[in-house]
Every structure is written in structure tokens, then in C-alpha cells.
């Protein structure tokens, strides 16, 4: 499933085409994705102007001039493709590869703008979904009510994590994946952040000392920022809105590196894998204590 850096990369790719654009044509080619489209989905969007393109956690948000926000979640295999002759290809570090074109059989939603651009949403497994929510009550809606702070925003502080960890016996990885504590973190980047901060994913969170929590907040911010800069991580299906594959998977220090020597300077450990809550955890038993 695309995590925060991948969703942010998609947002940045879509923004030049959709922000400020009026939707002159909207086509839903089936009645549902993971969930049914809301009643009047096509009619409520046709003619609306998208004011901007935002992200909250792993959701894309497109507020419109009709007082409603288009909420979009990519699920596991959701992907956008843009046909916009005005759009310049975004800069990326070094050479980058392009994903194969999406299968037209999985083209489920089409947005056409007043500038003649076409944005198509593809989803092979249809685990993604779209909804229309009143903008005024967006944060209290079923998608966002109770979500924790954004990990790249000012509300994620060491004091916030220390309060969330206090007295807890669960490991920090389990708590960081709880969207009520931090919104948008996923398995890959939690593994990477804990590796950088030198914190065991199994240690009772309430026993983690404040200097380590300070380091963890810094590690979360750094790993997410670096992943966004690299266009996210492509492990299977993910591609940006310009069709480019992510490159951060080549910078993983823990995730997917089972049996490989730990790359932390001076560490003699070997990356191990365990299962927590049905998800793979990759860590170094030597320096993550």
C-alpha cells in the first residue's frame, strides 16, 4: 500500500494539472471501487473548480468551490495518469525509470479539466476509494475524525510521542502504526525510522527514554523527507502521477534487508526479520536497543 511519501509524490504530480482547474467532465465507469461512489458523485463534481490539492495522512484532498472536498485513497494498487500537454515533467535526481502504462481495463474514473487535461484513475484491485465530504466538517468526518498529527507538521513533537508512549507495554512500532497517534506512517518508514534512532521495535514504549524519543522524531521527519525527494518507494505497483517509479527503496537500511550486514557505522549486527501484528518488521538486534 502506498505510504505517506508516495501519496505526497502523487499529490505534487497532480497539483499543476488539477489545482485551480474546473472539471468540465467527470466519468465513473463503474458504480464502486472499494466502496460505492457517493450519491450524485459525477453530477456534484462536474462544473466544480478544484481550489487546491492537499494531503492528510495517506489521503489526497481536493477542496472544491462548491463547499465539498473530494477525498481520494489509493488503496493498494491505485494510480493516476495525466494527459496534459502543458505539464512539465518534474525534476528528479539522476535518471529515473518509468512504469509500464496502466492497463486500460482498470481505468475507473476520468476527470477532464477546462484546460483540456485528462486525469485517469486506475485501480487493478479496486481497494482505493473516493468520497465527497462537506469541507467545513472534513476533520470530523469518518475518514479523519480521531487521526493523530501529521508526521511532517509542527504537532508531531517529542512531547507528543512521550505522552503517547507513557506507561505503554506495546513496542514503538505498533504504536507508531496507530493512526490515532501519528497519521500517515506506514510499515516501511517506521522500520527505517526506528533503525535510524537505534530503538528496538519490541521494547516497551513506556521504557524508552526521552533522548531516544527526540532522536525518533528527528528520524521520522528525515526519512519521510528523503523518501519524498526520491519520489517514494516502488516495491510492486506504485508509480507517480508522471509514471515515474520511486527510488527510495534503494536507500533502505532495514526494510527488506534480512540477513544483510547492518550499515550503521561501527555496528556488527545483521538485519533480522520478525512479524508484528501480521506485518514484517526489519531491524538490527545489535544497535536497536
All structural domains of the chain: 4-140 (3.20.190.10), 158-283 (1.10.8.50)
Cβ-based neighbour number of residue 77 at 10 Å: 19
Q: Is 162 helix (H, G, I), strand (E, B) or coil?
A: helix
pLDDT per residue over 68-77, tens digit each?
A: 999 999 999 9
Q: Tell me, what's the pLDDT at 96?
A: 59
Is 89's pLDDT higher than 70? Answer: no
Are 42 and 228 contacting, i.e. CB atoms less than 8 angstroms apart? no
- Separation in Å, CA 118 to CA 52, 98, 189, 273: 17, 19, 32, 43
Are 156 and 150 contacting, i.e. CB atoms less than 8 angstroms apart? yes
Residues 6+ apart with CB under 8 A from 77: 122, 123, 124, 125, 127, 128, 237
Which residue is listed with cell 505526497? Answer: 8
Strands 68-73 and 129-134: antiparallel
Between CA 71 and CA 81, with CA 76 as vertex, the angle to 5 degrees is 65
For residues 76-98, average pLDDT: 73
pLDDT per residue over 162-185, tens digit each?
A: 999 999 999 999 999 999 999 999
Is 93's pLDDT higher than 60? Answer: no
**Residues of the chain above pLDDT 90, percent:** 84
Q: How confident is the model at residue 26 (pLDDT cuts 50, 70, 90)?
A: very high
Q: How confident is the model at residue 277 (pLDDT cuts 50, 70, 90)?
A: confident
Which residue is listed with cell 536507500? Answer: 251
State the DSSP code for 237. Answer: S
The closest of 10, 109, 123 to 58, measured between CA atoms, is: 10
Q: Tell me, what's the pLDDT at 244?
A: 79
Q: Tell me, what's the pLDDT at 99?
A: 79
Provide the mean pLDDT of the chain: 93
Provide the annotated active-site residues.
Answer: 2-3, 58, 279
Burial of 182 (0-12, 13-18, 19+ CB in 10 A): buried
The closest of 171, 258, 256 to 216, measured between CA atoms, is: 171
Q: Tell me, what's the pLDDT at 95?
A: 53
Q: Tell me, what's the pLDDT at 255?
A: 96
pLDDT per residue over 226-242, tens digit each?
A: 999 988 887 766 778 88
Q: Tell me, what's the pLDDT at 91?
A: 56
Bigger pLDDT: 100 vs 112: 112
Amino acid at each position: 500500500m502506498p505510504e505517506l511519501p508516495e501519496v505526497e509524490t502523487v499529490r505534487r504530480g497532480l497539483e499543476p494539472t488539477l489545482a485551480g482547474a474546473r472539471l468540465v467532465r467527470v466519468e465513473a465507469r463503474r458504480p464502486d471501487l472499494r466502496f460505492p461512489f457517493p450519491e450524485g458523485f459525477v453530477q456534484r463534481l462536474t462544473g466544480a473548480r478544484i481550489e487546491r490539492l492537499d494531503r492528510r495522512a495517506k489521503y489526497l484532498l481536493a477542496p472544491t468551490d462548491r463547499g465539498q472536498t473530494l477525498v481520494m485513497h489509493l488503496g493498494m494498487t491505485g494510480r493516476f495518469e495525466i494527459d496534459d500537454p502543458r505539464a512539465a515533467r518534474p525534476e528528479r535526481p539522476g535518471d529515473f525509470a518509468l512504469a509500464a502504462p496502466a492497463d486500460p481495463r482498470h481505468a475507473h474514473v476520468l476527470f477532464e479539466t477546462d484546460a483540456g487535461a485528462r486525469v485517469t484513475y486506475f485501480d487493478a484491485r479496486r481497494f482505493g476509494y473516493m468520497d465527497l465530504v462537506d469541507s467545513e466538517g472534513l476533520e470530523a468526518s469518518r475518514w479523519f475524525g480521531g487521526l493523530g498529527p501529521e508526521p511532517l507538521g509542527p504537532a508531531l513533537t517529542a512531547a507528543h510521542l512521550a505522552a503517547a508512549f507513557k506507561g505503554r507495554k506495546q513496542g514503538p512500532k505498533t504504536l507508531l502504526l496507530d493512526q490515532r497517534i501519528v497519521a500517515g506512517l506506514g510499515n516501511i518508514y517506521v522500520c527505517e525510522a526506528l533503525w535510524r534512532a537505534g530503538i528496538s521495535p519490541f521494547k516497551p514504549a513506556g521504557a524508552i527514554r526521552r533522548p531516544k524519543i527526540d532522536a525518533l522524531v528527528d528520524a521520522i521527519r528525515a526519512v519521510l523527507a528523503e523518501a519524498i525527494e526520491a519520489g517514494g518507494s516502488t516495491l510492486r505497483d506504485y508509480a507517480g502521477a508522471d509514471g515515474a517509479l520511486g527510488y527510495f527503496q534503494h536507500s533502505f537500511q532495514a526494510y527488506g534487508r534480512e540477513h544483510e550486514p547492518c550499515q550503521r557505522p561501527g555496528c556488527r549486527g545483521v538485519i533480522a526479520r520478525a512479524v508484528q501484528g501480521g506485518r514484517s518488521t526489519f531491524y538490527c538486534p545489535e544497535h536497536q536497543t
